[in-house]
Homo-oligomer: A and B are copies of this chain.
Amino acid sequence: MTISAKTVTPHHLLFSENPSLWQAVSKEVRQKIYHYHDRVTSHGDAASNLWLVLSGWIKLSRQTPDGKETVVGLCTDGDIFGEAALFPNASYPYSGEVLSHEAELLAIPSACIREHIKQDALLSSNIMAFLHAHTSQAQLKLEQMNTMTAAQRLGCFLLKLCQNQSDGAKTLRIPVEKNILAAFLGMKPETLSRTQQQLREVGVEVSGDKIHITHIERLQEFVCGSCSASGSCSAEAVSGI
């Protein structure tokens, strides 16, 4: 399952802003192929690798003792997860499971990256910014759980997928099962379903895993009034991580 690492630099800020990091780390990195339902990391296990998603979709989730699941992140191309690996003796705070038919991941050994951080001040500061972005992410999502309706949360998620595009129409594809997407958005699948219909009134058509937004502005108008990040939200990561 393990094959040799690619020689091209993966497209993530952490690497593009720290070319030396990739150079140093690429020898120890392992590219791995996983398949549908494979478990990459387990909640509570020692964090032995930092993971970079090259392709595919990964679900990051936690379980409560009484059996409820929370989806803390949905990662795809270019996303990083398993930051616990940056710290000695840390364990993963969530499980990572493959959602797509196939997923290509890069496993960066914890010891290797930690060693590098110690020696490279620029890298440290990039990592700090990276960690801080996560906190902002999580806090924003927290705010949205309190101030937004389910429909607005879905709308917000769609707007983030539209990236920087701020008007006109757009068609998206989200190849993730609806019950998982619902959990990620903090609602039940039935609610997600009803929520899609509400968004029809602001020009969002859902069919299967394809979503067509006729007027991004109208969706923004519907969503962004309840969000304190209004404006700068397009800069936010979609993955929740």
Per assembly, the copies of the chain total 2
**A interface, by DSSP: helix, strand, loop or mixed?**
helix
Given contacts A65-B227, A124-B124, A226-B64, contact A142 B145 (CB under 8 A): yes
Q: Note all chain B residues with C-beta closer than 8 A to A125.
A: 87, 117-118, 124
Interface flags for A48-81 (1: CB within 8 Å of B; 0: not) read: 0000000000000011111010101000000000
Question: How extensive is the interface on chain A, given as a class?
Answer: 35 or more
Q: A29 → chain B, closest Cβ, in Å?
A: 21
Complex: A40 Cα to B131 Cα, angstroms: 24
Q: With an 8 A cutoff between CB atoms, is A193 at the interface?
A: no
**In the complex, are the beta carbons of B186 and A64 less than 8 A apart?**
no
| Stretch of A30-38, A96-104, A133-141 at the chain-chain interface | A133-141
Cβ contact of A132, chosen from B68, B83, B146, cutoff 8 A? B83
Besides the contacts A65-B224, A121-B124, what 16 more A-B pairs have beta carbons closer than 8 Å? A62-B143, A63-B228, A64-B230, A65-B225, A66-B225, A70-B228, A72-B143, A83-B132, A84-B132, A87-B125, A118-B121, A119-B121, A124-B128, A127-B128, A145-B186, A146-B186
